[in-house]
Structure 1
Amino acid sequence: MEQFAVIIKPVITIWDRPEETKENREKKIVSSIADEGIYGMGLRIRGEEEQGFYPVVTAYHYPGYVRKEDVELTGLSALVNWEEGGLMVIDGEFVDLMSLPKVQGVRIMSAPRGALIKVLEFESMEPGWALVELFDGQRGFVRNQYLRPKEYSQSGLWTGKLPQKEIVDEKEFRQAVVENAMQYLGTQYRWGGRTPLGIDCSGLTSESYLLSGIIIFRDAKIQPGFPVLEIPKEEMLPGDLMYFPGHIAMYMGNGRYIHSTGKIGSSGVVINSLNTEAADYREDLAKSWYASGSIF
């Protein structure tokens, strides 16, 4: 019988093995962080508990391990009910869930952009406040200006397929994913991160696409089975992706791109240019840029 789980903390680490550290190629000890999970997201359990970790796979088909205290185990029917029960996406950097529909309420939880929460009433007894419910049934209130529709499906957890939203207007979609990425501008670089607390290069691109209903590969490469296909560099349009060794960026148009970089002195989510005369030109990236990709 398949088992599933829902993330019950605002942000959790997803590890690439059931331990916090590993030895890298240079024989140095580094973290085994692979990704992050955000409140309300579902997971499929893919094996037995190991040393306090569950082996899991995410709805965007990324495997890893999570600490058992970070999730609540559940069955398929409960997960489907959660998925189809009116979920919306938190759309503020970090948003408070309050006990009352007013700022003087008790803070129940704070959740980052990308968290999933069940909305019972978008406009509750107090204008501007939504009545919401957590996975454990606890209710509270969130300012509805910080909620956006959930455009992607987590059904791949139980179907094994990658569900993708039908794109009706290509230009509108491209603009939306660029705007999603721009919301993280200035966020610090965090290895494996995917929230406004810290985000890495593929976390930025994959989360920007996910928020608009399209599931692309979580890492910085073009992966078979996912919708991004290589295109000629000169055919790039806004929202397309740029690939470098171990790095990925999103093209914005007019020779500019947005990415999350760990470069000393220019770390975090920044915008750079392909124009050699521009002050924000990155020669190292321009020379190592080996491919472009698009879902179109």
Structure 2
Amino acid sequence: MKAIVNDMIVNLHGKPDTTSELVDEILYGMTVNILEFCDELWVRVQTAYRYEGYCLKEKLIIDDAKASQWQGEANNVIIQNFADILVGPKIQSTKIATLVKGSVVIVVEENDLNQEWSKVKLASGDVGYTRSYWIQHAIADTVSEEEFRENVVQTALSYLTTPYRWGGKSPLGIDCSGLCSMAYMLNGVLIYRDAKIVDGFPIKQITLEQIQKGDLLYFPGHIAMYMGDDLYVHSSLGGNEVSVNSLNEKHPHYRKDLATTITAVGSLFAKELVH
């Protein structure tokens, strides 16, 4: 059974209890598989990137046919931190919903880049308008490797100063694996949402000597994205927000605790890198 996320941000908990650990967040328009109906309030779900947790049923549209159709048609993501969906194509219009970066919608009418507004359809069936440049069609294979690497780094950097939130992955708060997984997702690639390399996902291990912009650095319980020039961007519990640090001990933002504890390096382009 499939379902569609029908709220701006929906918490995934470790147990069917709102006071239990937040293990992940799922954003508006994402689809999930329902693994178990726990009781009248809770369901256990699995995300597209195979993460599992418990969420409130009231936050989902539970309809296998609708969810399957939505999954096939909704290929547009919000790239603005926060985007209002309005009843009409003007700023004074009534708000239907507010969505965060990473939310999924259907573009009903493709607009020229010079046009300010795009008509979009929500999972609820409501139709509204939002700024055209706040929406992106996420397909990774339309760009070169060099462009993808640059794009994924710039996407990660767009979260700079976002507060650290355990299990978070929105501009309201994001953790280390949330940052890296969202940067890739917003560029059309689903990677594992955790600080480790997992079989069955596109990130493969490479050596530190092969690292390039956009590759991932793994530490004990932590993950960061390499930016080039010994710099990396990450959401750090120690720093309390998304920030940039360095692997170079002579750099003012060097962090010895991370630079000396790298456990692995991963790349989407491992086949081209490993000899």
Q: Which residue of 1 aligns with 2:70?
A: 82
Structure 1 CA distance for aligned equivalents of residues 37 and 115 of structure 2: 47
Matched-pair contact (CA < 8 Å) for 1:122–1:129:
no
Q: 2:236 aligns with which of 243, 261, 274?
A: 261
Matched-pair contact (CA < 8 Å) for 2:85–2:96:
yes
Kindly indicate whether residue 213 of structure 2 is the aligned counterpart of residue 238 of structure 1.
Answer: yes
Q: Which residue of 2 aligns with 1:172?
A: 147
Matched-pair contact (CA < 8 Å) for 1:87–1:117:
yes
Structure 1 CA distance for aligned equivalents of residues 240 and 143 of structure 2: 36
Q: Which letter does structure 2 place at the counterpart of 1:255?
A: D
Q: 2:92 aligns with which of 81, 99, 104?
A: 104
Structure 1 CA distance for aligned equivalents of residues 59 and 90 of structure 2: 29
Q: Which runs of 5+ in 2 are unaligned?
A: 270-275
Matched-pair contact (CA < 8 Å) for 2:79–2:186:
no
Q: Which residue of 2 aligns with 1:217?
A: 192
Matched-pair contact (CA < 8 Å) for 2:2–2:68:
no
Structure 2 CA distance for aligned equivalents of residues 203 and 101 of structure 1: 32
Structure 2 CA distance for aligned equivalents of residues 84 and 101 of structure 1: 26
**Identity across aligned pairs (percent)?**
40
Q: 1:19 aligns with which of 17, 20, 28?
A: 17
Aligned pairs, how many? 268
Residues 1:274 and 1:35: Cα distance change in structure 2 (over 3 Å): same
Residues 1:38 and 1:127: Cα distance change in structure 2 (over 3 Å): same
Kindly indicate whether residue 137 of structure 2 is the aligned counterpart of residue 145 of structure 1.
Answer: no
Which runs of structure 2 are paired with 1:178-189 in the superposition (5 Å)?
Answer: 178-189=153-164
Q: Which letter does structure 1 place at the counterpart of 2:34?
A: I
Tell me the secondary structure at the aligned position of residue 269 of structure 1.
strand
1:109 Cα deviation from its structure 2 partner: 0.8
Q: CA RMSD in A?
A: 1.8
Tell me the secondary structure at the aligned position of residue 225 of structure 1.
coil
Q: Which runs of 5+ in 1 are unaligned?
A: 22-30, 152-164
Matched-pair contact (CA < 8 Å) for 1:18–1:51:
no
Structure 1 CA distance for aligned equivalents of residues 209 and 9 of structure 2: 38
Q: Which residue of 2 aligns with 1:155?
A: none
Q: Which letter does structure 1 place at the counterpart of 2:213?
A: P
Matched-pair contact (CA < 8 Å) for 2:117–2:131:
yes
Under a length normalisation based on structure 2, what TM-score does the superposition of the two structures give?
Answer: 0.92
Q: Which residue of 2 aligns with 1:283?
A: 256
Q: 2:245 aligns with which of 269, 272, 289?
A: 272
Residues 1:168 and 1:34: Cα distance change in structure 2 (over 3 Å): same
